[in-house]
Structure 1
């Protein structure tokens, strides 16, 4: 996997419409992957839900993680009980489930092809650092509000302002990454691991 360090702003992203609002696609793998044909391993996006009640698109081949960036929503899977989602609280569910929601929100989404990759969303605060485990690990830092700094390599950090993200792919094993969240900032980190032939069952 080739190393990629890419700063991404909302103004450079692909925007599409769905039945309940719009979706901004930050990143998709592989790079030529296509959401409409479901031909992708994973996808990071942010969507607006503009209807008071909406039905999620069925994605039976994918696991999903969602969190609300603005507003709160109630969500229901396969006719089960309604679950209340507060702002910046990740919720994981099966894309095959019949999913309905109530509430107008802006959310952040991670879609993961079942059996091909795993991942998670984490809400960030303060500062921290971590070390990459292998080249098949992808990180995406997203600054929804405020400002944050991410130090990847070299003496100068990458500065992320509101609506900007940083994609890190294929970093050499053992690479050190540090981040600092400025006061009043709300930010999210997505972590994705693509499975490969060296993974053990």
Structure 2
């Protein structure tokens, strides 16, 4: 029980986020800068791939700024995590759904018997727990967003 989305704003005006009661949101900027407000709790400025804001989807929240944001929304009965991969590494698939969104550039996933390439805007989903592989990020400033959801 989760959702992944990409949304854009072409205006500096503040706009509300949808109310997602019983969900935890993981928010990151893919492009631009956003000032995110959480109605009296705190506010935060998010730049591209800089920070991940994790907050209750039921909060009254809004954002201002010209940006493209990336959201992972996970039901509270599940657990989630999100991070950025921008260097070559080895990854081991853990329990749950392991997802890799290519936000910028391209990357190659090298398994024992095959290679899978992903380009900007593409999502790779893996569920084979215990599988291990290399991730080679291109030299062009590639950015992958790794997400894992376990229910």
**TM-score normalised by L of structure 2:** 0.90
RMSD: 1.5
2:90 counterpart of 1:133: no
Q: Deviations over 1:6-62 (max 9, x none)?
A: xxxxxxxxxxxxxxxxxxxxxxxxxxxxxxxxxxx1011111123321011111110
Do the aligned partners of residues 126 and 72 (structure 1) sit closer, same or farther apart at CA in structure 2, a change above 3 Å counting?
A: same
**Unaligned ranges ≥5, structure 1:** 1-40, 195-201
Q: Distance in 2 between matches of 1:44 and 1:177?
A: 23
Residue pair 1:79, 1:98 contacting (<8 A) in 2 also: no
Residue pair 2:38, 2:62 contacting (<8 A) in 1 also: yes
Q: 2:125 aligns with which of 157, 162, 167?
A: 167
Answer with 144-153 or 93-102: which moved more: 144-153
Match of 2:55 in 1: 93
Match of 1:73 in 2: 34
**TM-score normalised by L of structure 1:** 0.69
Answer with 143-152 or 91-100: which moved more: 143-152
Q: Deviations over 1:59-81 (max 9, x none)?
A: 11100001000001111112234
| SS across alignment from 1:72 | strand
Match of 2:15 in 1: 54
Cα offset for 1:103?
0.6
Cα offset for 1:188?
1.2
Residue pair 1:63, 1:93 contacting (<8 A) in 2 also: yes
| SS across alignment from 1:71 | strand
Q: How does 1:169-188 map to 2 (within 5 A)?
A: 169=127, 171=128, 173-184=129-140, 185-188=142-145
Residue pair 2:37, 2:44 contacting (<8 A) in 1 also: yes
Instruction: State the structure with more CA Rg.
Output: 1
Q: 2:4 aligns with which of 33, 39, 44?
A: 44
Residue pair 2:91, 2:135 contacting (<8 A) in 1 also: no
Count of matched residue pairs: 148
Do the aligned partners of residues 141 and 100 (structure 1) sit closer, same or farther apart at CA in structure 2, a change above 3 Å counting?
A: same
**Unaligned ranges ≥5, structure 2:** none
